[in-house]
DNA sequence: AGACGATCGTTGGTCCGACCAACAAGTGGG
DNA sequence: CCCACTTGTTGGTCGGACCAACGATCGTCT
């Protein structure tokens, strides 16, 4: 009984399907990251840092859609592991300028691999063409609900 | 700035896209249900009841994938509003047989409308053919990760 | 008949992600 | 100098999903 007794009404409902797949996706990614002692927020911040360069914690949170308070905890963890460095901005002493380290960049590449494998596991039953279509549609939906 | 500063690495990642869309989907459905003083669990249980007929709370939870303890709270709320009735099973006095009432069935039809409108809002930017494709792919993914 | 294991409803938790409120320290404009 | 604002930080809340344990009840086995 793979598709167990879930009401048929729900099994055809897009919002329910999306949530169902999202649960599996989140589980896969979380498991992958947990295996290397990381969390999703780690990846988000490291990727943001590498793409946009050093930034204050507030900017970091705004760009990644992460709450300021959650940025604090994440930067703490990343700094503990030596993946980022925190330095007071001399030009504005309120700000902490966060910079990714070499170890952080290496770790990010590792996380990229882990994430890629999770995508592959998630999309296993889909052809390459289907995957493209899926990403295209999801992108349009995500962009539309801005 | 609709697709805000999210790292490009993430914006193309299927698992991230799915989560993003799932967040919007959940928000839409929750808002719709909240407007008629309902929650997602209400719909799940009522739909299960209507499709499979009266059932014990444990069976109800198994079929809907809802924890027994959460079934208790949901049945409480539904019974308070007169949408279901709880009666001890004379053949097995451990069980509470839950039955949907006429008011409950009417309410379920109402929730169906609300849910359908949410789907339409969610999938607005997609053509009918695209919607079919999307549902087909998501169903395959959901079924595969059983 | 009696004992034992399993199941039922129920209570009372935990855990995690997302969010919010308040604060001191610091900044910039009037 | 004062006032409005931002930043980092602390300490929450809130909802959804899950888990543990309890008394009551049932079925089975002996």
What's the CA–C1' distance between A91 and D18, in Å? 48
Contact flag B144-A125 (C-beta cutoff 8 Å): yes
DSSP states along chain A: --S-S--HHHHT-HHHHHHHHHHHHHHHHHHHHHHTT--HHHHHHHHHHHHH-SEEHHHHHHHHT--HHHHHHHHHHHHHTTSEEEEE-TT-TT-EEEEE-HHHHHHHHHHHHHHHHHHHHHTTTS-HHHHHHHHHHHHHHHHH--
What's the CA–C1' distance between B49 and C4, in Å? 34
Residue B11: the pLDDT is 87
Residue B5: the pLDDT is 59
Mean of the pLDDT values across residues A105-134? Answer: 96
Residue A3 reports pLDDT greater than 80:
no
Mean of the pLDDT values across residues A92-103? Answer: 97
Contact flag A4-B124 (C-beta cutoff 8 Å): no
Distance from CA of B76 to the nearest CA of A (A): 21
Q: Confidence band (pLDDT; 50, 70, 90) for A95?
A: very high
Residue A123 reports pLDDT greater than 90:
yes
Residue B8: the pLDDT is 86
pLDDT tens, residue by residue, A14-47: 999 999 999 999 999 999 999 999 999 999 999 9
Q: In chain D, which nucleotides are within 7 Å of a protein Cβ?
A: 6-12, 16-21, 23-27
Contact residues on chain A for B105, CB-CB shorter than 8 A: none
> Which nucleotide is at minimal CA–C1' distance from B65?
D17
The lowest-confidence range among A110-119, A135-144, B3-12, B124-133 is B3-12
Contact flag B13-A119 (C-beta cutoff 8 Å): yes
Distance from CA of B37 to the nearest CA of A (A): 19
Mean of the pLDDT values across residues A106-135? Answer: 96
CB pairs A-B closer than 8 Å: 174
Contact residues on chain B for A9, CB-CB shorter than 8 A: 47, 51, 112
CATH topology of domain B40-145: Arc Repressor Mutant, subunit A (1.10.10)
pLDDT tens, residue by residue, B26-37: 999 999 999 999
Structure tokens at B96: 């509470």
Report yes or no on whether pTM surpasses 0.85. Answer: yes
Contact flag B141-A135 (C-beta cutoff 8 Å): no
What's the CA–C1' distance between B27 and C14, in Å? 25
Contact flag A6-B64 (C-beta cutoff 8 Å): yes
pLDDT tens, residue by residue, A65-79: 999 999 999 999 999
* Positions in chain B short of pLDDT 50: 1-4
Residue A96 reports pLDDT greater than 70:
yes
Contact residues on chain B for A48, CB-CB shorter than 8 A: 5, 7
Contact flag B134-A14 (C-beta cutoff 8 Å): yes
| Maximum pairwise Cα distance, chain A | 63
What's the CA–C1' distance between A59 and C30, in Å? 27
């Amino acid at each position: 009984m793979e598709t167990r007794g879930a009401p048929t009404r729900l099994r055809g409902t897009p919002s329910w399907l999306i949530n169902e797949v999202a649960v599996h996706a989140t589980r896969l990614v979380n498991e992958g990251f947990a295996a290397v002692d990381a969390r999703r927020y780690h990846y988000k911040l490291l990727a943001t840092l590498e793409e946009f360069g050093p930034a204050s914690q507030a900017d970091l949170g705004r760009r990644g859609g992460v709450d300021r308070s959650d940025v604090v905890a994440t930067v703490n963890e990343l700094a503990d592991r030596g993946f980022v460095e925190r330095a007071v901005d001399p030009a504005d002493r309120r700000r902490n300028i966060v910079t990714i380290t070499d170890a952080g960049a290496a770790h990010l590449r590792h996380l990229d691999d882990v994430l890629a494998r999770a995508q592959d596991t998630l999309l296993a039953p889909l052809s390459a063409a289907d995957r493209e279509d899926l990403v295209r549609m999801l992108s349009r939906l995500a962009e539309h609900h801005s």
